[in-house]
Chains A and B, each alone.
Chain A
Amino acid sequence: MTAVMNQLTEPEGSPTTAYPIEAIRAEFPILATQVYGKPLVYLDNGATTHKPQCVIDCISQFYSKEYGTVRRGVYALSEGATEAFQNTREAVATFLNAPSSDEIIFTRGSTEAINLVAHSFGHTYLNPGDEILISAMEHHANIVPWQQIAKLKGATIKVIPMDSNGVLDMSAYASLLSPKTKLVAVNHVSNALGTINPVAEMIKQAHAVGAAVLVDGAQSTPHITVDVQALDADFYCFSGHKVYAPTGVGVLFGKRTLLEAMVPYQTGGDMIDQVSFDGTTFTDIPHKFEAGTPAIAQVVGLGEALRYLTRIGLPAIAQHEADLLAYATERMQTIDGLRIIGTAPHKASLISFVVDGAHPLDIGTLLDHEGVAIRTGHHCAQPVMRHFDVSATARVSFGMYNTRSEIDAFVQALQKVLTLLR
């Protein structure tokens, strides 16, 4: 630890001097690569995060020595793989503070988790005239599945509005809630604005009218300690690839009573109790919702990533990222004509912005050439773009391995790019 602290290169006066940033950066091999001969400055962590060596090694080791199918084989490899797979389920339950690992379902990602709930909750509980509330700042993944099931079931979608800072209108929310509300679907953190939504309060109010709540945690889990019991969330989902784990695996937490009552999503092998050509009975949760051979190695990799995150500590990561957010916000505000889209008082470490006289696509294309990777476009949140009357924004999003000097490099590159464009 002392050796690590001696290596710190954070600028003086940084409040994060105890954070082992150099050791963390060294754990992510891709950060040492160059782009067009310039050091990579990766600021698109909201889209996906890079993988630490321990996760890469874990997957490689698993495939080299331990791989087998899960819950089917009677031989040692399969039993070992099944145990490793189940260990991740336990690790995820701990990560979310879920009451039981039976309430943890592995999916392909947040998208599939939301589709699962839309289908299985929808077919079990929705009736004509029922209402589903979603917020005005949802990712398309938390809009379109609800539109589809609403159409099938004759239910209606109502939208919780937000203000010009990107803060949800809680009094509008309160008046939208009614006994007709069956489900509220809201993101914990907005991928387009960074807003941290008051989900605990929203869940409390939804429960008061008997509605269930799905929280899309795709953008919160990398930054915030989540406790599904403290939140009293009915469903909570996230994507592995955004928490430094492999692609192809995600998580749905659901309360046992709901999951047990809900019809399955996909059907096939591994989720049945008895099958005959007259009919089929389904097995218990969580397996009822995990038809087919799962993404075994990816799940095992997710377990390793969560152990890594826990080792560094989400509170320490959150503090480091809060410093980056404050520093970047301050630096970016010095740029002439730059407007930050999303100025909620509580934000996770991402900043959407537009600049007068420069299209986000031009900014992104030219920054790439300076080695700086940022996101541009509508961020799969076209309603948010419409609300702020822009067709697209540029977005920087920070992760556990970013530094103030990378923000300096970004701001400097942005200034250079803007002189070219304006």
Chain B
Amino acid sequence: MPTIPDQQAAIVTQFNALPDWDARYKYIIDLGKQLPSLPDADKNDDNIVRGCQSQVWMVASEDGGKVYFKADSDALIVRGLVALILQVYSGQPPEAILANPPEFINQIDMGKHLSMQRSNGLAAMVKQIQMYALGYKVKLAQQP
């Protein structure tokens, strides 16, 4: 499993190789189309991460000291962003999640545009991932 910094670097390289914004948006949209849907039962109010204009649902689980995330959204561009976030953080140890903020967002050429838009809920999603990581970190530390 590549580390979080490796995953972030890979995304940045991939993005910046794309010729223009149209291509970058198309790439995000394709990621969104490919992301597996969450089962409807998981799309409940308990799992909601509120964006201003779209919904994100996220579930987390822990296995062998690593945190796994699954997520979905009703908007396609947001699904694409979800896919990127999951690629970076899902399957990583909680300490690593907490130690590595999503710097790739600012390093890809459309990062400023994406992260400034409160509407897509990107910031809320990252915060939720960090909250889960913190929760599992505390839980794992309490285990004998």
Residues of A within 8 A of B (CB): 36, 358-362, 365-366, 369, 376-378, 391-392, 420-421
Contact = CB atoms under 8 A, between A and B. Distances in A.
Contacts, number: 44
B29 A365 contact: no
Interface in B104-136: 117, 119-120
A366 B74 CA distance: 16
A168 to B, nearest CB: 27
A377 B55 contact: no
Contact of A377 (B29, B76, B119): B119
Interface in B36-58: 52-55
Given A369-B21, A377-B52, A377-B53, A362 B119 contact: no
Given A359-B76, A391-B55, A391-B74, A421 B21 contact: no
Contact of B76 (A36, A391, A392, A421): A421
Contacts of A378: 53
Q: Pick the 3 closest A-B CB pairs, nearest first.
A: A359-B75, A361-B75, A361-B53
Interface of B: 21-22, 25-26, 29, 52-55, 74-78, 117, 119-120
Nearest to A370: B22
A375 B144 CA distance: 54
B21 A36 contact: yes
Contacts of A366: 25, 77
A362 B76 contact: yes
B56 to A, nearest CB: 11
A360 B78 CA distance: 12
Contacts of B22: 369
A366 B117 CA distance: 13
A217 B76 CA distance: 36
A378 B54 CA distance: 10
Given A359-B54, A391-B55, A391-B74, A365 B26 contact: no
Contacts of B55: 391
Given A359-B54, A361-B54, A377-B53, A420 B29 contact: yes
A390 B65 CA distance: 41
* Among A362, A377, A421, residue most surrounded by chain B Cβ atoms (within 10 Å): A362
A360 B119 CA distance: 11
A292 to B, nearest CB: 31
Nearest to B54: A361
Given A377-B52, A377-B119, A420 B25 contact: yes
Given A366-B77, A420-B29, 20 more contacts: A359-B54, A359-B76, A360-B53, A361-B53, A361-B75, A361-B119, A361-B120, A362-B75, A365-B119, A365-B120, A369-B21, A369-B22, A369-B25, A376-B53, A376-B119, A377-B52, A377-B53, A392-B53, A420-B26, A421-B76
A49 to B, nearest CB: 22
Contacts of B76: 358-359, 362, 421
Contact of B77 (A365, A377, A391): A365
A47 to B, nearest CB: 14
Nearest to B114: A365
A358 B79 CA distance: 12
B33 to A, nearest CB: 9
Contacts of B75: 359, 361-362
Contacts of A358: 76
A186 to B, nearest CB: 27
Contacts of A420: 25-26, 29
20 contacts: A36-B21, A359-B54, A359-B74, A360-B53, A361-B54, A361-B78, A362-B76, A362-B77, A362-B78, A365-B77, A366-B77, A369-B21, A377-B53, A377-B119, A378-B53, A391-B55, A391-B74, A420-B26, A420-B29, A421-B29
* Among A365, A377, A391, residue most surrounded by chain B Cβ atoms (within 10 Å): A365
Contacts of A361: 53-54, 75, 77-78, 119-120
Contacts of B54: 359, 361, 392
B113 to A, nearest CB: 9
Nearest to A36: B21
A293 B14 CA distance: 56
A102 to B, nearest CB: 41
Contacts of B21: 36, 369
